[in-house]
Amino acid sequence: MKFTDSPVIDLKIRDKTLSLQQDNGSMHVGTSVWPCSLVLAKFVDRWAPPAAAATNNNPYSALLDFHGTRRRRGIELGAGCGAAGMAFHLLGLTDLVLTDIAPVMLALKHNLKRNKQTLGKMLKTSVLYWNNRDQIGALVAAGAPFDLVVAADVVYIEESVGHLVAAMEALVADDGAVLLGYQVRSPEADKLFWEMAREVFDIEKVPHGDLHPEYAYEETDVYIFRKKKT
Ligand SMILES: C[S@@+](CC[C@H](N)C(=O)[O-])C[C@H]1O[C@@H](n2cnc3c(N)ncnc32)[C@H](O)[C@@H]1O
């Protein structure tokens, strides 16, 4: 893993700036920062209420109120370099674990350490493969199902779509939500993902006008999934 001379991306979240260093030469896609994570981070930056009371005219205040009396628990799937997860932490979702496959952990931890001072602490990480029921069970058992499951640019391999949707379903609380930064990367994976996701979740697409104006790329969307009521 070589970070020397790697491109660095700055991401401004409120009054702080995250600095993300990539290893674009690695064979793992997670060691690069992908636009979906920036779009998702800046969408939340735009709408997360800065304080519990500041909810007027904000359609996302209930979803993104990280300063209310109830402490909320979050998890990021396929965190990569951790851009989205770190942004959520800065915006108040402090009970948060960032997950990815083992080979990406070095890049994730490198970036968490790089931003430790800005974040105020080293954030929690965990190795999580979406097809590993033991890992999923251990994460849920360590607390309660998660109020928020965060994921950005994770739909690109058709074979892993079923595991991804199952992991989202297992991890998210019945009254929780999945927040997904999305871009079509494989037509086959895209088709299967939406077929499977629609069976489990009610799906809301964030209008493009609600994305952050400087991070509203035409090909990138943010979706909110909530478990279907049975
Ligand atoms: C395109 S990258 C996106 C990384 C980051 N979310 C971003 O937007 O910058 C996809 C991420 O999903 C992870 N991933 C892919 N398949 C996975 C699986 N089966 N289990 C866990 N993570 C997986 C990859 O390791 C990678 O970090």
Predicted model pTM: 0.96
Query: Ligand 1 center to residue 104 CA distance, Å?
Result: 9
pLDDT of residue 45: 97
161 token code pair:
């779509």
CATH number among 1.20.1250.20, 3.40.50.970, 3.40.50.300, 3.40.50.150, domain 8-227? 3.40.50.150
According to DSSP, residue 207 is labeled P
Nearest to 189 by CA among 165, 170, 222, 217: 165
Query: Ligand 1 center to residue 170 CA distance, Å?
Result: 18
pLDDT of residue 20: 95
Query: Ligand 1 center to residue 45 CA distance, Å?
Result: 22
180 token code pair:
């997904």
Q: For a pocket test of ligand 1, which of 21, 101, 136, 155 has the largest count of ligand atoms closer than 8 A to its C-beta?
A: 101
pLDDT of residue 230: 73
130 lines ligand 1 (CB under 6 A): yes
pLDDT of residue 25: 80
For the chain, give every domain's residue range: 8-227
3 lines ligand 1 (CB under 6 A): no
pLDDT of residue 4: 55
- Over the chain (230 residues), what is each successive 10-residue block's mean pLDDT? 70 96 87 94 95 76 87 95 98 96 96 97 97 96 92 97 98 97 97 98 98 95 94
pLDDT of residue 70: 77
Query: Ligand 1 center to residue 129 CA distance, Å?
Result: 10
